[in-house]
A and B are shown apart, each in its own frame.
Chain A
Amino acid sequence: MATAVISTIVVFTAIGLAIVNSPGWPAVREAFLNGEVFRASFPDIARAFKLNVKIFLVAEAVILVFALGVAMLRSLPGPVFFPIRAIAIIYTDVFRGLPTILVITMLALGVPALQLTGVPVSAVFWATVGLILVYSAYVAEVYRAGIESVHPSQEAAARSLGLSRWQTLRYVIVPQAVRRVIPPLLNDFIGLQKDTALVAFAGPVEVLRQAGIDEAANFNFTPYVCTAVLFLALTIPMTRATDWLIERDRRKRAASGVG
């Protein structure tokens, strides 16, 4: 423990000194860590950040349900369900294969341009749909891994009671699968939190775009640092919570002797 403390202090002091003594440090400090600009831009940026949080919360709720549906459809066995499985596979392949930013810009700029009546024209709406489509493809795969990790004997037991395939998935397989995949799910949601910044490329004034506006107004990059602080304030607690859950799960399995 003591060794760890000492070596940590030594390493970080060395890195700190190297940065502070670099020739460009005064200029960088002025451009990125200007306290005055930080204070001035913080209220704007925090306000814009609320949009990111909103997008994240809505997207997360939809993804949790939608991705589970996709994973369940993909897990239906037998030749009868092949077309359904095929659609689910194509969906996950396409949206995991496309850059998120591409999906967001195409949807947010393209769909409103169609000028269809009754279809929302809000860029925020379509950018959120883009995030949902991309992240659901990943989350569906996480769910599917969980579903496949449930031993086939559980399915045999459920089917032997006369439950249908769907009932077996619904009451026996999925509840066990979801418990097992909570840590990797949270991991994906940490990624989603950050990627709400990509909505900026479709136009809405969310936090990254607001920081750009403030940067241009002050000729100073400190607003970006301000944004980074806000993101970390949100993602780090979630990251720690995820690690804690993984560790707890590992201990529980070790204690009960099942894998």
Chain B
Amino acid sequence: MTAAINIEGVHKSFGKVMVLKGVDVEVPESNAVCLIGASGSGKSTLLRCVNLLEPVDSGRILVHGDDITSYDVDANRVRRRIGIVFQAFNLFPHMNVLENVTLGPRKALKTPKRDAQDRATELLTRFGLADKRHEYPDRLSGGQQQRVAIVRALAMEPDIMLFDEVTSALDPELVGEVLGVIRDLAQTGMTMLIATHEMGFAREIADHVCFLDQGRILEQGPPERIFTAPEEPRTQEFLRRIIEAGRM
């Protein structure tokens, strides 16, 4: 069966710095794959490449078998099928919650306003945000903002969700509510590629874990093996430091 995402030999440089040096990742349908690794290892860049926010230099990315990195692809169409949630939320500060969530469906999918609002309200209710729908982002806590950002991505009804260290900018006590949302999504069978520093969460939720180191996938496998019996010295070193920092 075709995987939801196939990343094949992706290279990406910014100027002279090569951030991705030939990355291969496969995300099967309805699986959650976690990308772990130190800051600067290329996790965010990889996610941005999958969403076509960054063009790849070489290699290709297939989504349900379609090469989305081919030159003749309509990037806007691809992005509508792939949701992404960012570390810094990136909500639109001049729009209230409902407007944030309905902008994509209304403008990119041409959904009538009423339908978009009904659907948004439904999603906001599901994630406990219905009473916030007329608030502006700066009136919400970080956790609420990030949940709105997730709902905003879900409102496009994507097949795939990408999460880029979505809890890294949150106060510790707000991390749980956001992880709870992702956990819910995993249970509904959403295909997800998740870059995270939350090792406990990765271990619990991931079907597969990839350890990125200096632009390469150094080691990958099921979470039990990666977290309990990593083979590569650098993976061991990374996990030891995480444990020392009390993050697992």
Is B truly associated with A?
A: yes
List 14 additional contacts besides A153-B86, A160-B53, A167-B108; criterion CB under 8 Å. Answer: A154-B92, A157-B86, A157-B90, A158-B92, A160-B84, A161-B80, A161-B103, A161-B156, A162-B104, A171-B103, A171-B107, A172-B92, A172-B103, A175-B94
The verdict on A163 contacting chain B, using a C-beta distance below 8 Å, is yes
Please, which residue of chain A has its CB at the minimum distance from the CB of B84? A160
Taking a contact as CB atoms under 8 Å apart, the answer to whether A160 and B92 are in contact is no
| Most chain A C-beta atoms within 10 Å of own C-beta, residue among B48, B77, B82, B90 | B90
Taking a contact as CB atoms under 8 Å apart, the answer to whether B94 and A160 are in contact is no
Q: What is the interface size of chain B, counting residues whose CB is below 8 A from a CB of the partner?
A: 27
Chain B residues within 8 Å of A167, by CB:
107-108
Give me the interface of B with A, judged by CB distance under 8 Å: 48, 51, 53, 75-77, 79-80, 82-84, 86, 88, 90-94, 103-104, 107-109, 138, 152-153, 156
State which of B80, B86, B93, B94 has its C-beta within 8 Å of the C-beta of A156.
Answer: B86
Chain B residues within 8 Å of A156, by CB:
48, 53, 86, 90
Taking a contact as CB atoms under 8 Å apart, the answer to whether A176 and B94 are in contact is yes
- Majority secondary structure of chain A interface residues (helix, strand, loop or mixed): helix
Smallest CB–CB gap between A249 and chain B, Å?
14
Taking a contact as CB atoms under 8 Å apart, the answer to whether A162 and B94 are in contact is no
Give me the interface of A with B, judged by CB distance under 8 Å: 153-154, 156-164, 167, 171-172, 175-176, 179, 256, 258
Question: If the complex has contacts A159-B53, A160-B53, A164-B76, are A256 and B138 also in contact, measured as CB distance less than 8 A?
Answer: yes
Taking a contact as CB atoms under 8 Å apart, the answer to whether A153 and B88 are in contact is yes
Taking a contact as CB atoms under 8 Å apart, the answer to whether B94 and A179 are in contact is yes
| Most chain B C-beta atoms within 10 Å of own C-beta, residue among A162, A171, A172 | A162
Give the docked Cα–Cα distance between A181 and B93 (Å): 16
